[in-house]
């Protein structure tokens, strides 16, 4: 069994975060500045080298203007299909 960071569901979560960043019109560098982290931080979680925990997700989501309820509902819809 693959580790959860390499599972298909976690890959979907990462893809959704990348798409949200792109939809917000931000580069990795711009997002990193706003969350006060190096660009490598964003790159690593987008590539699956680093896990995003709940509080990080909420912080990133706030910057990207993600509605967490809508994001989770979309994720659940895609993972249950």
Q: Could you report how far apart the first and last alpha carbons of the chain are, in Å?
A: 21
| CATH number for 67 | 1.10.260.40
Per-residue pLDDT reduced to its tens digit, 14-59: 999 999 999 999 999 999 999 999 999 999 999 999 999 999 999 9
- Helix axis angle, 8-23 to 68-80, nearest 10°: 140
CB distance 63 to 35 below 8 Å: yes
pLDDT at 4 > cutoff 90: no
Question: For the whole model, what pTM was predicted?
Answer: 0.89
Report the number of distinct structural domains present in the chain: 1
Alpha helices (H) in 1-81, listed in sequence order:
8-23, 28-34, 39-47, 54-64, 68-80
Full domain range(s) for residue 75: 4-80
């Amino acid at each position: 069994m693959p580790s959860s960071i390499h599972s298909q569901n976690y890959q979907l979560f990462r893809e959704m975060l990348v798409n949200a960043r792109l939809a917000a019109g931000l580069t990795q560098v711009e997002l990193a500045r706003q969350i006060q982290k190096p660009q490598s931080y964003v790159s690593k979680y987008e590539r699956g080298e680093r896990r995003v925990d709940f509080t990080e997700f909420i912080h990133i989501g706030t910057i990207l203007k993600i509605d967490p309820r809508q994001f989770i509902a979309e994720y659940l819809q895609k993972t249950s299909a």
